[in-house]
Amino acid sequence: MTSELDNINSSSNRAFPRDFVIPRYDGLSVLNVAISLCRIIGVKLGTGVPELKYLAEVDDDYDYIISFLIDALGFQDFTSYTPKGLFNSIKKYYSIYPITTLAPSTTTTVLASFSTGLYPQQHGLIGYKIYFREYGLVVKIIEYRPVVGGYKDSLGEEGIDPREILPYNSIFEILREKGIESYLALDANNIDSMFTKLLAGETKFIPYIEMEDMFLNILETLKNSKGKAFIHAYWGSLDSIGHVYGPESSAYIEHLRRFLRYFLIFTRKIAKLKGKVLAVLLSDHGQVQVDPKKPLRLTREDDLSKTLLVPPYGDSRFVYFKVKEKAQFLERAEKVLSEKFEIYNSEYLVDKNIFGIGKANEIFLDRVGDYIAIPKDNSYLLYLYAEKEEKELKGRHGGLAEREMIVPLLISKFNRV
């Protein structure tokens, strides 16, 4: 694992600080995993994204593919927090690799790419808060509502169809069109949300309430499958715990260990299934520990804010700015941001393949604004859209730090006649 990790770090673009990890879209990223899994189960997506290096030579005669995406599990935390005995037991079944997530290192962007097989610069979902010029709104896309006013899924009630925002079929829909059973295992409370409709489209779900029934329901679906089947499971509780308590907290560590124990039990069961099974586990990003009392705060009255056409958006550790006058913005940003943040022209980051390889589409280019601020350390920026302050979180992500960017990939292949 050390050599693979060194390879990722040594290949980071030296146009950036050494502490930044650049997405490895060339075959070592979360997006490349999705491309390979679809090909192995029987469908080539044709999005132009390369396959994952570690799966490119795997044949396409598998009966079942099962992928788990555990939100907010960095490679560093996986290797550090998993007890040695449990880690060694997992290694009996899985090859373990470090890979990168995407940029920004945030759930919205990664899930959109995994669900469509597209680079961020193709699908345009570039953060937790996104500016949509066509609607004149900054939107919390997971909640599907304006950042000020509204309520969860209120944009849907205003008639904004998720297909307007992400006009691509999901991999679940594409596989079903090809006659392959495909399922998304998801918390029952989230199945009917507009964000789920945006990502998954028309698909079949495996609902669950807790960790135990998630694994049991997936196993039952596999046993009842009448042909090739693809199951993707999303587990989000680790991210929630990390945000509240931090990724260095006892709560985060204990929850991770509990998940991995159940995952090992599940693995032993699928190893006994008849047929050829490919199982993977990965994550959308890691988290960094932050001081919730020391954000860089901006309000509409600050001098920097007065240089902007719209409030800052994106994520607290990957911030987009649309500006009125560039020289004035850069002068004030130098005073306010430069000690803790690197400030980049957005076009520069696009040219450096931060958001994908090849040509970016016009919608994406409009959404990323004029400048992007990325922290050099564990700093983060909060813009107060309303009087009510944002939650004081101890774990955050979105930036290009190693702990956020490098995530684990576990791959196991079973073949029982």
Convert the pLDDT of each residue in 295-343 to its tens digit.
999 999 999 999 999 999 999 999 999 999 999 999 999 999 999 999 9
Tokens 């691509």 appear where? 168
Q: Which of 4-13, 41-50, 171-180 has the lowest average pLDDT?
A: 4-13
User: Mean of the per-residue pLDDT values for the chain?
Assistant: 95
Distance CA 186, CA 68 (A): 11
Percent of the chain with pLDDT over 90: 91
Convert the pLDDT of each residue in 212-260 to its tens digit.
999 999 999 999 998 999 999 999 999 999 999 999 999 999 999 999 9
- Nearest 5°: phi and psi at 405? -90, -30
Q: What is the second-level CATH architecture of the domain 2-118+166-288+401-416? A: 3-Layer(aba) Sandwich (3.40)
Domain residues of the chain, as ranges?
Answer: 2-118+166-288+401-416, 296-395
- Asked if pLDDT for residue 110 goes beyond 70, the answer is yes
Distance CA 374, CA 137 (A): 23
What 3-state DSSP class applies to 313? strand
- CATH match for 296-395 among 3.40.50, 3.40.190, 2.10.110, 3.30.1360: 3.30.1360
Distance CA 210, CA 198 (A): 23
C-alpha dist (Å) from residue 104 to 18, 248, 315, 374: 17, 22, 8, 10
Q: In this predicted structure, what is the pLDDT of residue 5? A: 72
Q: In this predicted structure, what is the pLDDT of residue 9? A: 67
Which carries the bigger pLDDT value, residue 91 or residue 15?
91
* Tally of CB atoms within 10 A around 167: 12
- Asked if pLDDT for residue 171 goes beyond 90, the answer is yes
String of DSSP letters for 237-286: HHHHHHHHH-TTSHHHHHHHHHHHHHHHHHHHHHTTSSEEEEEEEE-S--
Q: Average pLDDT, stretch 34-51?
A: 97
Q: In this predicted structure, what is the pLDDT of residue 149? A: 85
Percent of the chain with pLDDT over 70: 96
- Asked if pLDDT for residue 137 goes beyond 80, the answer is yes
First to last CA, the chain: 32
236 in Cβ contact with 214 (< 8 Å) = no
* Residue 11 pLDDT level (bands cut at 50, 70, 90): very low
Prediction pTM value: 0.96
What 3-state DSSP class applies to 193? coil
298 in Cβ contact with 382 (< 8 Å) = yes
- Asked if pLDDT for residue 387 goes beyond 60, the answer is no
* Residue 415 pLDDT level (bands cut at 50, 70, 90): confident
Q: In this predicted structure, what is the pLDDT of residue 216? A: 98
Q: Which residues of 8-18 are buried (b: 16+ CB within 10 A; e: fewer)?
A: bbeebeeebee
* Residue 386 pLDDT level (bands cut at 50, 70, 90): low
Q: In this predicted structure, what is the pLDDT of residue 2? A: 61
- Asked if pLDDT for residue 7 goes beyond 90, the answer is no
Task: Write out the H or E segment, with its range, that includes residue 135.
Answer: none
